[in-house]
């Protein structure tokens, strides 16, 4: 027979698990929006989702290990840069890791001018 106290303790364990689960998903949503804000700050120079249209390096589809290495080299000053040392120094290890995963997963877009397209036809 199930004692009242057993039932209560089983119930409170379930309740604790439910609270823990919802806390985890709230945290995931927050960190996801934090990542979006960070990635948006790179867009001014590196383009939307890392697809730069100017002379700035394209980040979309960049190998995550290469990305990490560049950011660390900018931070240490091992790689000289015009602006990136400032951006890299403002990021934590976790933020660099999250950005490396984000940009490596973005599809690389190739823009073809109408004139070049005509030449191809
Ligand atoms: C003000 C413009 C600007 C902003 C904003 C900017 N970058 Fe850059 N980024 C550059 C330039 C220019 C380079 C080439 C190195 C240099 O001269 O600093 C570069 C290079 C890089 C590289 C090296 C790419 C390669 O393949 O060698 C990475 C990685 C990078 N940026 C990541 C980022 C990330 C992540 C952010 C946002 C947190 C960011 N950048 C924001 C201008 C910018």
CATH number where 33 lies: 1.10.760.10
Cβ atoms < 10 Å from Cβ of 98: 18
Residue 115 pLDDT class (50, 70, 90 cuts): confident
67 belongs to a structural domain:
yes
- Tell me the CA–centroid distance for residue 120 and ligand 1, in Å: 32
Q: What confidence tens digit (pLDDT) does each residue in 80-106 have? A: 999 999 999 999 999 999 999 999 999
Q: What confidence tens digit (pLDDT) does each residue in 8-18 have? A: 555 555 545 44
- Greatest Cα-to-Cα distance within the chain, rounded to the nearest angstrom: 83
Domain that residue 110 falls in: 26-120
- pTM (2 d.p.): 0.77
Placement of tokens 């106290």 in the chain: 5
Averaged pLDDT for residues 43-67? 96
20 belongs to a structural domain:
no
6 belongs to a structural domain:
no
- Tell me the CA–centroid distance for residue 101 and ligand 1, in Å: 16
- Into how many domains does the chain fold? 1
4 belongs to a structural domain:
no
Cβ atoms < 10 Å from Cβ of 69: 14
Check if 104 has its Cβ closer than 6 Å to any atom of ligand 1: no
- Tell me the CA–centroid distance for residue 86 and ligand 1, in Å: 10
47 belongs to a structural domain:
yes
Placement of tokens 């990542």 in the chain: 35
What is the tally of helices (H) and strands (E) in the chain?
5, 0
52 belongs to a structural domain:
yes
Mutate to test the pocket of ligand 1, among 36, 37, 42 (most ligand atoms within 8 A of CB): 42
């Amino acid at each position: 027979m199930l004692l009242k106290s057993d039932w209560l303790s089983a119930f409170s364990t379930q309740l604790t698990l439910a609270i823990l689960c919802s806390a985890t998903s709230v945290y995931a949503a927050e960190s996801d929006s934090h990542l979006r804000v960070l990635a948006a700050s790179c867009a001014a120079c590196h383009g939307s989702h890392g697809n730069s249209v100017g002379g700035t390096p394209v980040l979309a589809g960049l190998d995550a290990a290469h990305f990490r290495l560049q950011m660390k080299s900018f931070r240490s000053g091992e790689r000289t840069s015009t602006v990136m040392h400032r951006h890299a120094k403002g990021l934590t290890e976790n933020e660099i890791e999250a950005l490396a995963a984000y940009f490596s997963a973005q599809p690389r877009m190739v823009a073809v001018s109408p004139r070049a397209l005509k030449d191809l036809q």
